[in-house]
Structure 1
Amino acid sequence: MFIPEPFKIKDEKIIYDLLCDYSFATLVSSKQDQLQATNLPLLLSKDKKSLIGHMAIANEQWKMLSGNSVLAIFHGPHHYISPSWYETKDAVPTWNYISLQVSGNFVPLDDEHQLVESLKHFVDTYETMESEYLLEHVDPNYLANLRKGIIGFKIEIHNIEAKAKLSQNHSTPRQSLVIEELKKIKSENALAIANWMQENLKNLKQ
């Protein structure tokens, strides 16, 4: 990923937090000049050394992946930045965004216990504290049939690249103008980018 130095996220805590907050990814692979991609959630393992996921058995992509390199692309919040928000007319439109790319080796989870534990990890991660759903309460026969239709896997992380393009190449007064205008829009992405700029620009410069 092309990352100019001012846009590079170096803080590991910020990177791992982003991987957890924006865990729905695009998994990209290539074999014999054929590109394939699947959209799916990927969870960071507790030791932060791998990503955990599941894919439908019917999905042809996993069959070409075992032991091969893959790329997972995570998209954080993003929003259009209008030049009309600046103090000058000599400006052009741009886009502020947060994105991460994780590369590593694809390893199928052939062990039944590992697959079940990974499913529980997903439930524990995404279910709210108020939810009464537990995987242990699901009928064992139903769960067994479900497991026949999916392949569990992990991606052993080799490299993580993280980018936050948040108007770092503009002056502080102009950044403040962008934050102010984004907050007026009140969409989820606009507010997320505004908050990120407000709370993290100083940290990203370190």
Structure 2
Amino acid sequence: MHPNTRFHWQDREAMADFVRTIGFGTLFAETPDGPRVAHLPGLLEGDRLFFHLANGNALRRHLEGKTALFVITGADAYVSPDWYGEPDHVPTWNYVSVELEGSVAKLSKDELVAGIDALAAEHEGRLEKTPWTRAKMADGLFDKMTGAITGFAMEVKAWRGTIKLGQNQSEQARRGAADAIEANGRAAIAHWMRNLDA
């Protein structure tokens, strides 16, 4: 989380929507071999985050009962000082990110299957097509494939959000930077900057 409190994101509901919408993040945890990371989809339901790892992943055997950190990063962009239209600025980076910290528990096979079904339903429901379900797979193949992964749930104890969009600049400077950022191909973060107070 950014140390400047002006960039702290306090709206839990908005952060939860952000995590659910993106649905993919980075899981960090300490292991006897040092810190490890995994990039994976996660499904947030209340204060519970479902995820799964390949059995060969270096984190898998060290997670149960441990504290982990799951980070979702959204839109971002470099900000040139020239784009503010005012003197005496330095280069910076604008971004949106949420950190979820909590204890991790291993799931049963039934819980893993339910989590995969829920994860697929969440994302398939956003697509303009007939949703995929495991019923479309050959008999026995889903069970074989789920034998190669392990399901986990994190009970989220801490939510930390950063929404760094130039709040420390004048509205005119922020909008000028947003225009330049969009002109340079980063429309998503420009949209966030323009709608900061919406």
TM range (shorter): over 0.9
Kept in 1: contact 2:178–2:194 (CA 8 A): yes
Kept in 2: contact 1:27–1:38 (CA 8 A): yes
TM-score (norm 2): 0.93
Q: Which amino acid aligns with 2:144?
A: N
Matched, 1:121 2:118: yes
Kept in 2: contact 1:3–1:163 (CA 8 A): no
Q: Which moved more, 1:55-64 or 1:29-38?
A: 29-38
> Which residue of 87, 98, 106 corresponds with 1:108?
106
Q: Which amino acid aligns with 1:194?
A: A
TM-score (norm 1): 0.89
In the alignment, structure 2 segments of 5+ residues that lack a partner are none
Q: Which moved more, 1:59-68 or 1:1-10?
A: 1-10
Kept in 1: contact 2:78–2:92 (CA 8 A): yes
Tell me which residue corresponds to 1:95. Answer: 93
Q: Which amino acid aligns with 1:52?
A: F
Matched, 1:202 2:197: yes
In the alignment, structure 1 segments of 5+ residues that lack a partner are none
1:41-65 Cα deviation digits (max 9, x unpaired): 11102xx111111100111311111
Q: How far 1:30 moved relative to its partner?
A: 0.6
C-alpha separation between the residues in 2 aligned to 1:145 and 1:3? 46
1:100-122 Cα deviation digits (max 9, x unpaired): 11100111112x22111111112
SS in 2 for 1:164: strand
Q: Which amino acid aligns with 1:40?
A: L
Tell me which residue corresponds to 1:144. Answer: 143
Q: How far 1:33 moved relative to its partner?
A: 6.8
- Cα separation, partners in 2 of 1:33 and 1:114, compared to 1, 3 Å: closer
C-alpha separation between the residues in 1 aligned to 2:144 and 2:77? 42
C-alpha separation between the residues in 2 aligned to 1:163 and 1:120? 31
Kept in 2: contact 1:115–1:152 (CA 8 A): yes
Kept in 1: contact 2:86–2:173 (CA 8 A): no
Coordinate RMSD, CA, aligned: 1.5
Q: Which moved more, 1:161-170 or 1:114-123?
A: 114-123
